[in-house]
A and B are shown apart, each in its own frame.
Chain A
Amino acid sequence: MSAEKDRIRSIKDDSKRPYRSFADFIKIFFRRFRSKNRASVLLQTAVAIILALLAGAILVLIVGENPIKAYMALAKGSFGSWPAIARTLRVSSPLIITGLATAVAFRAGVINLGVEGSLYLGALSAALAGIYIKGLPLAIHLPLALLVGALVGGIWAFFPGLLKAFFGVDEIVASLMLNYIAVLLIDYLVLSFFLDPVIGTTSDRPATLPIPETAKLPFISEKYGLTIGILIGVVLAFILAFMYKRSIWGFESDMSGYNRRFSLLGGVNIAKMNLFTMVISGMLGGLAGATESLGVYGRYVSGFSTGIGFDGVAVALMGNLSPLGTVVGAIFFGALKNGGAAMEVSVNVPRDIILVVEGLILAVVTAHKLFIFLRLGLQKSTEEI
C-alpha cells in the first residue's frame, strides 16, 4: 500500500510546471483542455470550422475547381437526401463510441491512445462469440457478443492502465504502442485459426466465417449499412452525460482530470481511478469494434478500421470532451468523410483534399485551445511572480 502511494506521488506533481517532457505537456494540455463556457465553445468550434473550410477552399482552387460547387457537393453528399443521411450516420456510428471512449479517458486526465487496439480486439472477439456460441436466441446472443467485445477491449486497456497505476509507466506511449501489437496479433489469429476458407482464398482481406443472424445487430437501413449501433452510441452518450452530472464517479473523474493532487487530498484513490478509467475506455473501444463486426460486416474483416479509434480523439476534442458534444462531433466527422466521397465523385476534387480539410479543422480547433492554454499558462506564471 505504501509503495503504491509513493508511486502515485511520483506522478502527483505533474500539474506543476515546468514540464519535464513533451508527454507531460500533452497530458497537462488535454487535462486543461475543456472550456467551461458552452457558448464560447460553440463559437470557437464554429469559427475553427469556417477557417478550415476557407483554407480548404484555397486548396480546391489550387487544384482548379470551384470551391462553392465542391462544398455544395459535400453538403449534398452528407445531408442532402435520406441515402446521404443514412450513409453519414453509418460512418458516424462507431465514431460516436470511439469518441466516447477517448472522452472518458481524457476527462479523467488519462491519455488513452489505445482505443484502436481495443476496437480491433473487441471486433474479433465479438465476432467469435457470435460464430462459435450456438443455440442462443437473439435477445441473449447479441447482448452476449457485444459484452464479450467490450470485455476483451477493456482487458486490453487494463494492461497499460496497470502499468500506469502501479509502475508509473506513461500511458500515452504504452497504449499507443499496444495498438500495433493488437492489429498484428489479430491478423495472426485470424489467418491461423479463424479464417473463412472461402473468402480466404478469394479475397486479399482475410476474414472470419459469417456471423449467424442471432448475433447480428438489427439494421435500421440494410441498404446503407446503418444498424442500431448508432442508437447504442447515443444511449451511451446520454448515460455518460447523466453520470458526469450526477454521480460520484463522474465527480471524482472530472476532479482528477482537473487537479490530481487536490483529488488525492480529497480522498480519491487516483491509482484506482486511472485503472478504472482505462478499462472503461477500452470497453467502449471494444464495443465500437463489436458494433462494426456484428453490424455492417457480419463477420470480422481484417483491417476493417480505417483509424476509427484514432478518429475518436478528434471527435472527442471537437465535442469538448462532453458526451453529447462527442455525438455531434462524430456526426460532423461522419458527414465530412461521407460527403468527401460524394465530392470526389461529382466534382473533380481528389479525396486527399477532404482529408486535408479534416486535418485542418482538427488543427484549428486544438490550436485555438492550445493558444488559450499557453496564454493561461503565461498568466499563471506572472501571477506567481
Chain B
Amino acid sequence: MDEPAVIMKGITKSFPGIFRSVVANNNIDLSLQKGEIHVIVGENGAGKTTLMNILYGMLQPDKGHIEVFGNAVKIPDPQRAIDLGIIMIHQHFMLIPSLTIGENIVLGREPNSGILLNRKQIRDIVLKLSTDLGMQVEPDQRVSDATVGVQQRVEILKAIYRGAKILILDEPTAVLTPQEIDDFLRLLKKLSEEGTTIILITHKLPEVKVVADRVTVLRDGKVVGQVDRANIDERQLAEMMTGRPYQPRDFNQSHLPQETILSLNHVSCLNDRGLNALNNVSFSLNTGEILGISGVAHNGQDELAEILIGERSVVSGSIKLDHREITNFSVRKIRELGIGYIPQDRFGEGCAREAIISRNMIMGVHRSSRLSGSVLLKQSQINLWSDELIKNYAIKTSHRDMPISSLSGGNVQKTIVAREMKMTTRCLIAEQPSRGIDIGAAEFIYERFQDLKASGAGIILISTDLNEIMRLSDRILVLYKGSIVGERTSAHTSPKELGLLMAGIGWEL
C-alpha cells in the first residue's frame, strides 16, 4: 500500500494581474499513496482548485514536477490525465440527461457489434460494475429521472469504467441528503480498499473525519500542514485553514416575545414549466426567529423564495406581512416593506459582476428616500452607505468604486449579505447563504444573522446543508415535492430524522 500514486513537487503557479500577480500555488509538495483517501481542505482562494486543475492538465504549473506511478510526466491537457488514469468528477455532473444510465457510463467507449450499439452488453457491463462496487443503479433508467445521489454514482461508475486509478472529487457531497452522504462515503472507502486513490476536496469538516486517511491543509497557496487519520481534529483543522483561533459559537434560541411577522396561507404556485411547484404551503415566521427550510434541492425552495420576494406569482392562497396582505405584490413594493433576499447564485442573481461595488450595494434600496430623490441618485449618501457596509462587514477591498469582480467569492457574498441585511427591517430570506464560502466568512454571516434576530426581524433560512439548518434555526420545516412534510424544533430532531423527511420517507398524505 505504500507505493506512491502521485507525487507533486514544488508546484508553483501564479496568475499575472495588471497591478500584481496572484500566487495561487507556492511551492506545494503533495504525495498520494496508492489506495488512500486524501482530503484537501482550505479556505476559498487557498489554491485547492488550482492544484487540482494542474494535476488534471487544465492548467500548467510555472515550476515543479509531477510523477504518476513513479514516472515523471507532463500533463498538457485533461486527455493526457485521463490516459494516465486520473479522472476528475466535477461538482456539476457531466451527464447527458436524455440518455440512460448505462449509455452514459459507456459513452465514448461503447461496446459495439459493427455499427450497432449492443444494448444487452451495455446492461451486462453496468450491472457487473455496479455489483462489484456494491452500488445499485438501474442501467435502463434515464439520467433525467434519476436522483442527484444516483447521478453521482453514475459519474463514479463512468470514471471506473474508463479505468480511473486516481479519482479527484470536488465538493461531491454538497448536493446530497445525509443518507446519501453516508452511502457515498462508504462507497469511497470501498473504492480505496480496492486500490483507487482518491483526492477529495471539501468544506465539510465532519466528513473529513469519517473518511480521510490523510488531510493536507492549504492556506494562501502553501501547504500549512498534513494530518494523519489518527490525529484529525475538526477544530484544529479549522484553525490551520484560517490561521486564527476557531470557536464555533452556540447560537441561542430566541427569547423575544413572539409575534407573527410573515404568514403564508395555503399558498400554491407553478414552476417555470407550468407544473405545480408549491402545494398548499402554510407557515408563519415570528419575530426574532430563524425558520429553517430544509429539503433536497429542487423540491420547491427556489419557487418559495421567489414568491416571497414577489418575483413569482402565487396561484392560490395568500401571503401576509404584519397582518397586511402582500400576495402578488411587485418586487419593488415588497422590498419597500423591508424584506431582503440573499439569492443562492451569487453571480447569476446576487450582483452585476461588471459593475462597481458601491453600485452593487444599492440595488433594491436605490429608490429609498435616503439614497435618491425622485430622479437623481444621492451620490454622497451612496458613498457613505457603501463605506459603512464595507467597514461593518470587513469587506476586503481598496475602494468602494472597484469592480465587484475584483473581490474574492467570500467577499462578494459578504457584499450581498451586507446589502440585503441593511435593507431588511422585517424579514430576510436567505437562500444557501454560506454556499461555497469558507468557514471564516460563513461564521461572520451567521453572527450577523444573530444581530438581525436580536433587532426583532425574522429570517427564513433556505438551505440544503443540514448542519447549517440545525445549527441556526429555531424551527425547521422540511419541504418535499412542494409540500411541507414536517415541522421540528432544532432541539428535538436529528439529522437522521430530517434526512428521512427530506427523502419523503415517513410522509403519509
- Chain A residues with CB under 8 Å of chain B are 1-2, 5-6, 9-10, 15-16, 32, 34, 36, 246-249, 251-252, 254-255, 258-259, 261-269, 382, 384-385
Contacts and interface: CB of A to CB of B under 8 A. Distances in A.
Interface stretch (B147-155, B159-167, B359-367): B359-367
Contact of A265 (B92, B313, B349, B353): B349
Interface stretch (B27-35, B285-293, B325-333): B325-333
B499 interface: no
Most buried by B among A5, A259, A263, A384: A259
Given A265-B311, A266-B364, A259 B272 contact: no
A32 B367 contact: no
Given A246-B379, A248-B376, A267-B367, A16 B331 contact: no
A255 B359 contact: yes
B144 to A, nearest CB: 17
B348 A261 contact: yes
A320 B336 CA distance: 34
A265 B348 contact: no
A259 B332 contact: no
A5 B403 CA distance: 30
A268 to B, nearest CB: 8
Contacts of B379: 246
A269 B328 contact: no
B179 to A, nearest CB: 27
A254 B355 contact: yes
Contacts of B334: 267
Nearest to A246: B376
B309 interface: yes
A34 B403 CA distance: 13
A130 to B, nearest CB: 32
Contacts of A246: 376-377, 379
Contact of A248 (B58, B92, B367): B367
B313 A16 contact: no
Per DSSP, are chain B's interface residues mostly helix, strand or loop, or mixed? Answer: loop
Contacts of B375: 247-249
Given A9-B272, A261-B348, A261-B349, A266 B331 contact: yes
Counting chain B residues whose Cβ lies within 8 A of the other chain, the interface size class is 35 or more
A2 B330 contact: no
A9 B274 CA distance: 12
Nearest to B334: A267
B355 A2 contact: no
Contacts of A248: 366-367, 372, 375-377
Contact of B355 (A258, A268, A382, A385): A258
A36 B357 CA distance: 13
B184 interface: no
B328 A262 contact: no
Most buried by A among B312, B332, B352, B359: B352
Q: List 3 tightest A-B contacts by C-beta distance, closest first.
A: A2-B313, A267-B332, A258-B352
B481 interface: no
Given A254-B359, A263-B352, 5 more contacts: A5-B313, A255-B352, A258-B355, A267-B332, A384-B92
Nearest to A6: B313
A288 B377 CA distance: 29
Interface string B360-395: 001110110000100111010000000000000000
Contacts of A258: 352-355
A34 B312 CA distance: 31
A265 B335 CA distance: 9
Interface in B314-359: 328, 330-332, 334-336, 341, 343, 348-355, 359
Nearest to A264: B311
A264 B331 contact: yes
